[in-house]
Amino acid sequence: MQRIGVLFVCLGNICRSPSAQAVLEDRLERRGLGARFHVDSCGTAAFNVGKPPDPRAIAAAERRGYRIAHQRARQVDDADFARFRYIVAMDRANLRTLEGWATADFGGELRLLMHFGVGGRGGEVADPYYGSAEAFDAALDAIERGVEGLLDYLCARHGADFDAGRRCASENPRTP
């Protein structure tokens, strides 16, 4: 069984994308689908490579039961376009960077996370880095909404592969 690759991308890979990775991993595990996916995150910039997530992102995630402190930032590379079928950006600037970076043979999908959120209007997950602790909570709120929509999309696309879709039934989102 080949695992379906989902890669979340922001600028530095220390706030939004590691949080999105943790949220999707949580949702997949709760539905018994974790073994069917390979989920990762990275940044378009290299300045945080090897660093852990921002302490405020770690705190916001931990308040909701997600663990991200073990993650280390990395930069997107050409091989990611072969490893991941779904590459999901947090904002338009990073989406444009990914579109320019994509290899000629990339056959997957490049999308904004909020394309999958309520209404599907393709909004952005605001970068909380220069904001307050509340900005990290707001970013996580948006990420949770986007991930729920993304998971619904993935289940619609691949549900037949997941035990006739039984495991794709929506669950109530985690409460803070």
pTM for this prediction = 0.92
Residue-level pLDDT at 169: 59
The mean pLDDT value for 53-71 works out to 98
How do the domains of the chain map onto residue ranges?
4-168
- The pLDDT tens digits for 121-133 are 668 999 999 999 9
Confidence check: pLDDT of 119 > 70 = no
The mean pLDDT value for 82-96 works out to 97
pLDDT band (50, 70, 90) for residue 172 = very low
Active-site positions read 10, 16, 127
CA distances to 6, 14, 23, 76, 131 from 84, rounded to whole Å, are: 6, 20, 18, 11, 31
The CATH number given to 4-168 is 3.40.50.2300
